[in-house]
A and B are shown apart, each in its own frame.
Chain A
């Protein structure tokens, strides 16, 4: 494919190791088209977070390294970049587990997202007001200490903080972890709105397959560091195997894609 300009992110066959030994990703390739929402699905330990950190170059701080393959963001390799340079290039990661600055107020948290931008006080206030139109709940709690806000609010703070950096692309790592269904819906609504109105491309790692696919354009399913299946969100939602393994509509005792592939090859042999 030569339409690299339409893909804001292009990951080709990456392998990632931690401490030079532990193989976390075997072979992951994925593309995020400009302005789209792409879901990266898989169970705990499948390699979703590792993939996102490889993209934002935050792997280094966990002694991880991309040992094979390439990652291109907006037409340039991310290999030599640092996390703060990636932020300057318009890519911001919202880390797993929200990671708000607990002792700062909600508003200070959000403002800290603009750190990499050279803005005047007036500009910051203008940006803040814009951000608050998406996160109405946060405006009411702007003076509270972030550590004392609810889980859903903390997730909103984390996303709002990332939006203050004016990203072209957001990497969201399990934004709905541990949240009540109503809040999950609220978070996804905001994410969709940001995608539509601000034109932010989004790569979303989720375990919550159903909701994630319903709010995405395209999806990848990874297992033990390998992409097992990919397709448009609709096709994945109606895929029998996905239904069985990730949406809990099970028929037999199969647990993952490896079992499915094994079974299929057995079937082929017997045919």
Chain B
């Protein structure tokens, strides 16, 4: 009995921590969705692009770890700058659907650029933190939990705290929330939309880099990272597209349920249900709580 419970705990905790990896990807979507009400289809490509650049700096140019990370982050700011200038500004007055289509195109451009610059082979990324159970926890709590999962959980927690503080207490955060509510009204009182867009895309780029590092360390830096973005979709539907805490909680729920379902219900379906179980969950949310758990409710006065 005790052993069964421990096994359940292990599955659950492992799932929750793996979920924070989804949260990190989803966080980038939320940032852009808040400011431009657009689902950024290029987020997956940004993850791939940023982490491949990071590896490229380290492995091809022998730049030390920290410096390479800073360079990759700066590169993502440049990507944000170019996106604002070349894609968003010309489409300033276009409909949200047009911007949505543009992000799909942007994704292809980033994928292509990344592979043209750093090649197509799978690269290994070593963060210095192994993807194996932490001995101390295994010995004392009898739980086998990956060090990388724990690290990802800590990083996700730091990111959410940092971003929440930024939005709540800084001037540019106030500007961002104002733009998120009503971009027209924000520009009527002199909040420059282009600064906000630049900030948001750069922040989403850096978040993509962090998410890419986690996933790259686990699964190798490869093209498949682009499709990770798809896993963020159910996370966002459950957590709410416009909520940062929602992205985190959504990730945890997806991570935990897919692992638990896989282990306990999977055998009845012949296994491998974690690939589609999150989407089933997402459909239920779309039916019964379309704004997600933490999404901003559409406030209507009566």
Contact = CB atoms under 8 A, between A and B. Distances in A.
- Same assembly: yes
Contact of A101 (B93, B181, B187): B181
Interface string A109-129: 001110110000000000000
A17 B175 CA distance: 31
Interface string B39-54: 0000000000000000
Nearest to A113: B189
Given A87-B190, A165-B190, A104 B178 contact: yes
B129 to A, nearest CB: 38
A58 B190 CA distance: 11
B184 A112 contact: no
Contact of B93 (A61, A88, A115, A147): A61
Interface centre among A83, A113, A116 (most CB of B within 10 A): A83
A158 B189 CA distance: 10
A56 interface: yes
B177 A101 contact: yes
Given A60-B93, A83-B187, A87-B190, A103 B296 contact: yes
A61 B182 CA distance: 13
A28 interface: no
Contacts of A115: 171, 174-175, 178, 189-191
Nearest to A161: B189
B271 interface: no
A102 B181 CA distance: 7
Contacts of B180: 103
Interface centre among A82, A84, A100, A148 (most CB of B within 10 A): A84
Nearest to B171: A115
Contact of B185 (A60, A101, A103, A116): A101
B169 to A, nearest CB: 11
Contacts of A162: 188-189
A21 to B, nearest CB: 16
B151 to A, nearest CB: 33
A130 interface: no
B175 to A, nearest CB: 6
Chief secondary structure at chain B's binding surface: helix
A99 interface: yes
A95 B188 CA distance: 8
Contacts of B186: 101, 112
A88 B92 CA distance: 21
A161 B178 CA distance: 12
Interface residues of B, number: 22
A99 B190 contact: no
A80 interface: no
Contacts of B189: 87, 92, 112-113, 115-116, 161-162, 164-165
B2 interface: no
B299 interface: yes
Contact of B178 (A86, A93, A112): A112
Contacts of B182: 99-102
A104 B93 contact: no
A116 B191 contact: yes
A11 B174 CA distance: 35
B187 A111 contact: no
A108 interface: yes
A158 B182 CA distance: 12
A116 B181 contact: no
Contacts of A164: 189
Interface in A56-92: 56, 58, 60-63, 82-84, 86-88, 92
Given A56-B188, A95-B188, A112-B189, A147 B299 contact: yes
A58 B187 contact: yes
Nearest to B168: A108
A165 B188 CA distance: 11
Contacts of B296: 103
Contact of B181 (A62, A94, A104, A148): A104
B130 interface: no
B299 A99 contact: no
A56 B180 CA distance: 22
Contact of A95 (B174, B185, B191, B301): B185
A84 B92 CA distance: 14
B192 A84 contact: yes
Given A83-B190, A116-B191, A161-B189, A58 B181 contact: no
Contacts of A86: 190
A61 B92 contact: yes
Question: Top 6 A-B pairs ranked by shortest CB distance?
Answer: A87-B190, A116-B190, A99-B185, A101-B181, A147-B299, A84-B192
Interface of B: 92-93, 171, 174-175, 177-178, 180-182, 184-192, 296, 299, 301
Interface of A: 56, 58, 60-63, 82-84, 86-88, 92-95, 99-104, 108, 111-113, 115-116, 145, 147-148, 158, 161-162, 164-165
16 contacts: A58-B184, A58-B187, A62-B93, A63-B93, A83-B187, A88-B190, A95-B185, A101-B177, A101-B182, A103-B180, A103-B181, A104-B181, A116-B191, A145-B299, A148-B301, A165-B189
Given A87-B189, A93-B188, A108-B174, 4 more contacts: A60-B93, A99-B184, A103-B177, A115-B191
